[in-house]
Amino acid sequence: MGGYAFYVWGSFGITALVMIIEVWQLRAQHRAILRNLSNETGSDSDPNHS
């Protein structure tokens, strides 16, 4: 990378990292909301169902 490796990979790396964390956080949040809802309604359905 002609001496720019740290800067180039750092830029692409942090962007990828932020995006992966954001997607993961939203999926986890969705599962948590569904889990709480099925607990509240007392249903025994699959909590991962979307």
Binding to other proteins by residue 10, rule CB under 8 A? Answer: yes
Q: Is 20 in the site for other proteins (CB under 8 A)?
A: no
DSSP class of 42? T
Residue 38 Cβ vs other proteins, minimum distance, rounded to whole Å: 6
Asked if residues 45 and 38 have their Cβ atoms less than 8 Å apart, the reply is: yes
The candidate with the shortest Cα–Cα distance to 40, out of 32, 50, 28, 29, is 32
Question: From CA 36, how far away is CA 50, in angstroms rounded?
Answer: 13
Is 24 a binding residue for other proteins by CB under 8 A? The answer is no
Binding site for other proteins (CB under 8 A): 1-4, 6-8, 10-12, 14-15, 18-19, 22-23, 26-27, 29-30, 33-34, 36-38, 40-41, 43, 45, 49-50
